[in-house]
Structure 1
Amino acid sequence: MSKSKATAIGFIAVLLWSLLALLTVGSAPTPPLLLNAICFSIGGTLGLIWTLASGQLGQLRRVSWKVYAFGTVGLFGYHALYFSALRLAPAAEAGLIAYLWPLLIVLFSGLLPGETLRRGHLIGAALGFAGAATIIAGGGTGFQMQFLPGYGLALLCALTWAGYSVISRLVGSAPTSSVAVFCCATAVASWGLHFAIEDTVWPIGVLGWSSTLLLGLGPVGLAFYVWDIGVKQGDIQMLGTSSYGAPLLSTLVLVMAGIAAPSWGLAAAAVLITLGAIIAARASTSLSRRKASDAAGKR
């Protein structure tokens, strides 16, 4: 598979994740760990069916337990934090903070062997965090202390997914089919913790169950498999920075659905986060071109 094709496949995940906030709100009042458990049971089952159908089951035996542990912690941690954040803070604002992950991927990828951070990456990061600060200071609903725990969880969520995505590059030899095991293990852990610490509240009505089902099929299902292909075989910096559309798409979907009210503060936060990612993307593109030019000169 070519690098550009793998990058394009990875971007499908970004489009699916733009629906994550909307579907999470639709699944209320199901608690975070139970929602995790249901969605990952669906996503993991689909992955296992695909693995069996494609004859890749034998590959799973050769994957280290450390890789399985890493993947499970990444998927479990991100979604437990995300679902909790959207239960504790307004969806649009918490979602925008969580969508700092594309920018963080660019910054963290500079720590990978052969990668370099430039001034544009740092400027982009500063703008992105300014957007997050705008939200916390009162971007959409006005500053309210009771939302701070949700905003904090959303930031941890962004850090978790960015770290997971970049470190995945270092374990690139693990087959994409291993993601099915990550999902199943996450489901098992979520079921166990749910019954231990949460009250059971199932999705309510057609809206609740359809939102939960669609979460498991798309943003918490197919998205992981195409993202794994993208970060392991594609251009990780381009993939991370091309994801700048995610916060705008997610916010636009919430506004169009009537879940979030349009406001200048919310718009400013979305623009700052998106602009920061665009500047970082330009820095990545410029750096890639320079490396290509240097390599061609050496030949």
Structure 2
Amino acid sequence: MTRQKATLIGFSAILLWALLALMTIGSAPVPPFLLNALCFGIGGVIGLVWIGFGAGFGVLRQISWKVYAFGTIGLFGYHALYFTAFRIAPFAETGLIAYLWPLFIVLFSGLLPGERLRALHVIGALVAFVGAGLIVMGRGDAAGAVPVLGLSLAFLCALSWAGYSVLSRRLGDVPTESVVVYCLLTAALSVPAHLLWEVTVWPQGGWGWLSVVGLGLGPVGLAFFTWDIGMKKGDIQLLGVASYAAPLLSTLALIAAGLAEAKPILLLAALMITGGAALAARASLKP
């Protein structure tokens, strides 16, 4: 597979993740760990079918348990944080903070062998953080009611996904079929967590079930396989650049669905986060 093709495949994940927040909201009131189990169960089963018709299950035995542990912790941890944040914090604000991960991918990629951290990386980080700060300050008199825990979890989402993505680059020889096991183990871990800490609430109505199935097929399914290919074999810097459209697209999707208000402060925050990440990208693309 060529580097260009792998980059294009990785870009498809970004388009799918633009719908992650919208579908997560549509899945309410399903609790986070149950949602994890349902979505990753769907994605994992589809992955098994793909392996059965493709490379065969023998390829899974060639992968170290340490790789499986890394991938499972990355997927399980990120989505437990993400789904929980969306259950307890405002939709648009949570989505924007969670989508700081493109910026962190650029920053962290500067630590990879052969890369370096430049001044524009730092400037871009500061601009994006100011944008995130505007989200909280823009709530005005309601600032005292801001669910700090929810926004903090969203921030941890950004850090965890960027770390997982960049570290995947170091596992370039590991076949993408490993993601199937990540998904299945994440689903398996989510079941006891749900039984211990949550009350079972199933999706409500047709839209609720459609959102859960949609998550399992796309943003919490196919997207992980295409992203894995992009991170391992594509241009990580260009994918970082392309990722900066995700927070803006996600916010626009929420506004179009009537789930978020097109407040000037919110749009300004989205542009600052995207613009800050773009500055960091400009530094990363310099020879």
**Is the 8 Å Cα contact of residues 108 and 163 (structure 2) preserved in structure 1?**
yes
Deviation at 1:142, TM superposition (A): 4.8
- Unaligned runs of at least 5 residues, structure 2: none
Change (3 A) 1:244 1:140: farther
- Structure 2: distance between partners of 1:54 and 1:171: 21
Q: Does 1:241 align with 2:261?
A: no
| Structure 2 residue identity aligned to 1:224 | F
| Structure 2 residue identity aligned to 1:162 | A
Alignment root-mean-square deviation, CA: 1.2
**Is the 8 Å Cα contact of residues 10 and 229 (structure 1) preserved in structure 2?**
yes
Q: For residue 181 of structure 2, what is the aligned residue in structure 1? A: 181
- Structure 1: distance between partners of 2:142 and 2:273: 18
Q: For residue 54 of structure 1, what is the aligned residue in structure 2? A: 54
Q: Does 1:281 align with 2:281?
A: yes
- Structure 2: distance between partners of 1:177 and 1:170: 16
| Structure 2 residue identity aligned to 1:86 | F
Deviation at 1:172, TM superposition (A): 1.5
Q: Does 1:209 align with 2:204?
A: no
Deviation at 1:136, TM superposition (A): 2.0
Count residues in correspondence.
Answer: 287
Q: Which runs of 4+ in 1 moved over 6 A?
A: none
Q: For residue 253 of structure 1, what is the aligned residue in structure 2? A: 253
Q: For residue 294 of structure 1, what is the aligned residue in structure 2? A: none
**Is the 8 Å Cα contact of residues 27 and 208 (structure 1) preserved in structure 2?**
yes
Q: Does 1:102 align with 2:102?
A: yes
Change (3 A) 1:101 1:53: same
Change (3 A) 1:114 1:141: farther
Deviation at 1:169, TM superposition (A): 0.8
Deviation at 1:64, TM superposition (A): 0.4
Identity, % of aligned positions: 61
Q: Secondary structure at the match of 1:61?
A: helix
Question: Deviations along 1:228-271, whole A, 9 cap, x unmatched?
Answer: 00000011122112211000000000000000011011011101
- Structure 1: distance between partners of 2:235 and 2:121: 16
Q: For residue 226 of structure 2, what is the aligned residue in structure 1? A: 226
Deviation at 1:4, TM superposition (A): 1.6
- Unaligned runs of at least 5 residues, structure 1: 291-299
Q: Does 1:89 align with 2:94?
A: no
| Structure 1 residue identity aligned to 2:225 | Y
- Structure 2: distance between partners of 1:141 and 1:161: 32
Residues 152-163 of structure 1: matches in 2 within 5 Å?
152-163=152-163
TM-score (norm 1): 0.94
Question: Deviations along 1:133-180, whole A, 9 cap, x unmatched?
Answer: 111222599524342111000000000000000111111211100000
Greater CA drift, 132-141 or 34-43: 132-141
